Amino acid sequence: MIGIVDYGMGNIKSVANGIIRVGGEVKIVSQPNELQNCSALVLPGVGAFAQAMENLNKADLVNPIIERVEEDTPILGICLGMQLFAEYSEEFGVTKGLGLVEGGVVKIPEAPGIRLPHMGWNEVKQVNSLDSSLFKDVPDEGCFYFVHSYMVETAQENLTGVATHGSRVTASMQVKNIFATQFHPEKSQSNGATILRNFVNISEAKGENKYG
């Protein structure tokens, strides 16, 4: 059972429907004790980083999420959910994040002719030799749907995908059992469906090499 964390800022229904369409079982979870019954978690999100962290803290979800990740539970962060994994965000001042991935959230560099937010379809170049199981059967430089003005800056070895919007934009990352996409797989047609199907398979996998 994949638990989709509802903290009041996610496009919960579309993410749930996307996972169900590819054969996954989902449960919307909003209480700390509910996380224990899930084989994997999804942290979606739309909106401002600071408000998201405030909501997570008010719901007493911060420590339970961190504890499940430390127990090797697979987790997928989508859009703002991905950014929340970082140590901090510079959006509207500095706000502490979950600290699950080294790095911070910064504004996409402005450039002539480059509009923010970065909105619409863009190609994602897969990077590193990680061969992440999240990208199994996804074509390199496949298109995905983005809506964001901020991005995660993290170590090169954490990256699994980048896009270009004036400059290089972090599109996805993985640190062991922590998976994240800045793009919206639930809105990205066949490529996004493959990402979600792969995460369902990850949630069901056993053994040392289950994360790719």
Q: How much is the pLDDT for 11?
A: 83
Q: Encoding tokens for residue 28?
A: 């919307």
**Rounded mean pLDDT, 160-183:** 96
Question: Tens of pLDDT along 117-130?
Answer: 999 999 999 997 55
pTM of the model: 0.95
Residues 38, 79, 91, 148: which is the catalytic one? 79
Q: CB neighbours (10 Å) of residue 183? A: 28
Q: How much is the pLDDT for 19?
A: 97
Return the CATH architecture of domain 2-204.
3-Layer(aba) Sandwich (3.40)
74 contacts: CB under 8 Å, gap ≥ 6: 39, 40, 41, 177, 179, 199, 202, 203, 211
Average confidence score pLDDT of the chain: 94
**Rounded mean pLDDT, 82-87:** 98
Let me know if 186 is a catalytic residue: yes
- Domain extent listing, the chain: 2-204
Question: Tens of pLDDT along 108-162?
Answer: 998 888 899 999 999 999 997 556 899 999 999 999 999 999 999 999 999 999 9
Q: CB neighbours (10 Å) of residue 167? A: 11
Let me know if 148 is a catalytic residue: no
**Does 209 score more than 60 pLDDT?**
no
Phi, psi of 152 (to 5 degrees): -85, 130
Q: How much is the pLDDT for 129?
A: 56
Q: How much is the pLDDT for 168?
A: 95
Residues 118, 148, 165, 184: which is the catalytic one? 184
Q: How much is the pLDDT for 210?
A: 64
| Whole-number Å distance between alpha carbons of 5 and 157 | 27
* Residue 29 CA: distances (Å) to CA of 1, 112, 121, 145, 208: 11, 43, 30, 26, 28
Does 35 or 11 have the greater pLDDT score?
A: 35
**Does 17 score more than 90 pLDDT?**
yes
Residues 118, 143, 165, 186: which is the catalytic one? 186
Question: Tens of pLDDT along 53-82?
Answer: 999 999 999 999 999 999 999 999 999 999
Confidence of residue 10 (pLDDT cuts 50, 70, 90): confident
